[in-house]
Structures are given as structure tokens and as C-alpha cells.
Homo-oligomer: A and B are copies of this chain.
Amino acid sequence: MASQYETNAAGRKVPTEVNGKAQVPFRGVGKYRPEGRKAAPPIRSCADYPADGDKRVGSIREALEKCGLRDGMTISNHHHFRNGDLVMNQVFDAAKEIGARDLMWFPSASFPCHAPLIDRLEDGTIHHIEGSMNGPLGDYASLGKMRGLGVLRSHGGRWQAIQDGEVPIDIAIIAAPTADAFGNATGDRGPSACGLLGFALADSMYADKVIVVTDNLVEFPCVPWQINGQNVDYVVELDKVGDPEKIVSGTTRITKSPDRLRIADLTARFVEAAGILQDGWSFQAGAGGTALAFAIYVRDLMRKKDIKARFIRGGSTQYLVEMLEEGLTDFILDGQTFDLEGVRSMRENAGHLNTSPFTSYNYHGKGNFASMVDAVVLGATEVDLNFNANVVTHSDGRLLHGIGGWQNCLFSRCTILPIPAMRDRVPVIVDEVTTLVGPGELIDVIVTEYGISINPMRRDLIDRVKGTGLPLVPLEQVKAEVERLIGGKPQPPRVTEKDIAAIKWVDGTVIDVVKQVE
């Protein structure tokens, strides 16, 4: 691979070609203007589908064969089952049986449960993966063992890539907790209920062929139809498509660390002091322990001050559901349910709304929800003094996390990163982030155990909290104190010159590249 490189608008040297496709280097936030028209799937005819609506076939293998699986195709799936997915290993085993090779796997994310697919990468069934690689597959890629480059996209970026035709999907696999024989499918009910199927929506609309796999077949019509059967080719019944216990993310517990509780408390007090927390406001907080603690503190403030949110953006958890049911918010706009209370609420509460990366995050639409959120609370593995942040690699260079909705959320009116200033004696505030995932101009506030650091570009926020008694501290000072405590800067990652993954910005341009670790 004699890659050509170009230095992008963020000063990062990025390849001009990835997996054989020409790339546009990142040009700055809002600077790249797409051209052309959206992707267009083939026109079908009802004459080629059963009039009685029964699209069932006997097995995953049969469905793949009927879809015309062949070498080099792209197979996609959604990750609403997270680490409880029981389908995709079977899909690639069937692909191997059929003898297909060099497939591109295009999940919305992969998890440790997909570690067996390392065998399919090794035996040539899978060529490479484009999508988040959480855990073992990320490690595998980090070591330079994958043939192609990993391509990491945000949830919105994945929609954008499908919609814009950058990633044509040959066969989409949609594991569905409930479906009918026509292919209408929902995630909010059934023994493997995972809430919603929004990550599969683009796949269902744009893929050439769509296979719904379910363990809970119901009489037509499956209601709600989060996925339209009108986009589905085949339906396969399995005993079990997902493991409900593992659908629940392990990170959905509130932190017990005193430092992190202090960070969460400071974050809540900041949104109050800055006047963001007011009647009709909106916020998004992830499912991490600190973010959850923030949500709890904010809830208490809202109760005390008799403030009601217009909407809260999920990933939903029991805490958000309680706020909805208590009347502290009109709506939860949910992109993925993080626990079973979220699943129940989506099924039962009219104010708990099913969203998709199209409605929430797609940057190549006529607007999206992300920029209308008053405050968003996110994590990061590293930040630098210009507020640039990393969420995919650790300081040792290993690629261990996906982007998720993180990049998309940065467009919120106020983006706050409540993060510890160090982790396991490794500083989090660094001279230069190992991988640039979010440009500092979109990151407004960083809250550490040392206090609140506001991006100097947000003069308005600084003015609003001045004199409120909140501990404001320049990021430089936090960095210096951590380095003094630890005894110096972190070791730079030991990496080779070989690219192992490209990091896309929300508009499809390349913002950075990840190198193989030594």
C-alpha cells in the first residue's frame, strides 16, 4: 500500500485513498459541501414478491444464497443488541459455508461477542470491517492484522455514508426482537426486546437486499413497524437473536468515585450557573457513570427549581424514564435504549420517541436534532489544550472504542466533557491527542476534578458564570498540575507507519488516521 497523504485542515496527515476509494481530507467544521445526489437502491416490483406477504425462508444460509451472496460483497447489521448479539457470527459462518470470500463487514458497531469473527478475518471470509470495533476486534486491527483499513464513523456519519453512496450495502441483516412474515419489524417487544432499530433504518432503506432475522414472529401486521416490510426481501426465524442481559450496557451504573461525583456535580452546577438549565431546556447525557450522575444531579435541581425540560435525548436509562414519568420532561428522543426500563418505556410511553441517525445526527440532511440540544455531556479518552478530543484510541495508541454519536453531539449549543484529569496515573490532558476525533472549536467546556475549564472561544459562557463562585480553571493549569503530580508527560504511543483505521468526520471527510501499535 503506497498511500498518498495530505495534511488536512486540522493539521493531520491523512491518506487520500482508503480501501481503494478516494477520500476528501477534513476541510474544517461546516466547510465541505457535498455534491451530487443520494444513493438510490434498485427499483423492485411486487410481481417478484409473494402476494400473501410471506417472505420466510428456512435459514440464514438459504437467505444469503437467495440474496446472491458472492465474493467482495458488503454485509451490514445494527448493534442494538450490543454485546448480546447472537446473529452475526452465524451469518459469517454461513457465508464461509457458502464459500464467499473477501466480504466487507459494515456493522454500526461490533462488540467482544464478535471475537469469533477474528477467525473469519483470518480465513479470508471477511476482508475488513468498517464500523466501530469495541474490544478484541479493535485490538486485532490495532496490531495491523486486518487486510483493509478499518473506517470509523459516527452514527450520523454512518447514515451519511450510506445515504451518499459512499458505502453501498449489498445485504443488510436486521436482527429483530419482533417481526411478521412480511418483514415489518420492531425492537420494543419480544423476548429479546432491545428498544428500537434505528441503526438499521438506513440499511433497510438503501441496501440492495434486506434479511430480517427474528425469534418472535407475530401475525401481520407487526406493530409498530420500526422497519418497513416493504424494504425487506427475506425473513428468517431463529430460536434466539439476542441475549437480553447483555443488551444492557455494563456502563449504565452511576459512578461511586468521589472524584467523578464531584465532576458530575460541577457539571450540573455549571449548566445551572450558565443559565442553560431553564424551563423548556434540553440535554443529552450518555450512559457512562459520570454522565448518569450528572443526570441525577440535574434532576434534583430541576425538581428544586420547578423546571421542566422540553426533551431529553437518549440513550435512555431508567433515570431518564423516571424523569419522563415524573413529568420532568415532555419527551425522550431516544436513539438507543441502554437498559430494560428504557425498552419498557419506549413501548409504553407516548412521550418516549423512537429516533434514528437520520433524525438525530445525519449531517447531510436539511438539519438534524443534534444542533438543537441545549447541553450535551460526553466523555473522551484525551483532550488537548485547544479542546480537541479523542474518543477512539488510548494514549498507548490502541483502538478500543467506537465514535458512536459523539461527533454528532458536538453540534449541541453547549458541549461539555466531564472527565477525570488522569486515569490510572495517565494524564488525560495532553499536548496532542493521539487521534483527533472532535475539533476543539466544537467543545465548549471541560470539567475535571480540578474545576471547570471553558473554551476561550466561548466568551459568552465565561461571562455568564463569572462571579458565580464556580471553580473556573484554565486547562493549561490542570495539565500542569497533573504532570507535576505524575512526574511528567505521558509516553507517546509506540506506533509504526502503517495505517490501520481511518477516522471520518460527520461529513465523510477524513479527520485522522490510526496507526498500527508496535
Contacts and interface: CB of A to CB of B under 8 A. Distances in A.
Interface of A: 30-53, 55, 163-164, 182-183, 210, 219-221, 223, 225, 228-233, 280, 310-311, 331, 333, 351, 353, 358-359, 362-369, 371-372, 411, 507
Given A38-B43, A46-B363, A231-B365, A371 B183 contact: no
Contact of A366 (B34, B51, B183, B369): B183
A271 to B, nearest CB: 18
Given A37-B40, A43-B364, 8 more contacts: A31-B47, A32-B45, A46-B367, A55-B366, A220-B310, A221-B333, A223-B331, A233-B366
A9 B43 CA distance: 22
A230 B359 contact: yes
B36 A39 contact: no
A45 B366 CA distance: 6
B43 A372 contact: no
Residue of A35, A45, A229, A280 ringed by the most chain B CB atoms within 10 A: A45
- Chain A contact residues: helix, strand, loop or mixed: loop
Contacts of A311: 221
A163 B230 CA distance: 13
Contacts of A44: 34, 364-366
Given A40-B39, A42-B37, A43-B36, A55 B367 contact: yes
A474 B411 CA distance: 70
Nearest to A36: B43
A411 B51 CA distance: 8
19 contacts: A31-B47, A33-B45, A34-B43, A36-B42, A40-B40, A43-B364, A45-B363, A46-B368, A46-B411, A49-B367, A51-B372, A51-B411, A55-B366, A182-B367, A220-B372, A221-B333, A230-B358, A230-B366, A231-B366
Number of copies of this chain in the oligomer?
2
Contacts of A164: 43
A258 to B, nearest CB: 37
A47 B30 contact: yes
A311 B223 CA distance: 11
A37 B38 CA distance: 11
A46 B371 contact: yes
A162 to B, nearest CB: 12
B37 A41 contact: yes
- Rank and list the top 10 A-B pairs by shortest CB-CB distance, nearest first: A30-B47, A37-B40, A40-B40, A49-B367, A230-B365, A51-B371, A34-B43, A38-B40, A53-B372, A46-B363
Contacts of A183: 366-367
A164 B280 CA distance: 42
Given A46-B371, A230-B359, A280 B366 contact: no
Given A35-B43, A43-B35, A46-B371, A366 B223 contact: no
Residue of A31, A39, A228, A372 ringed by the most chain B CB atoms within 10 A: A372
A163 B205 CA distance: 12
Contact of A53 (B34, B210, B371): B371
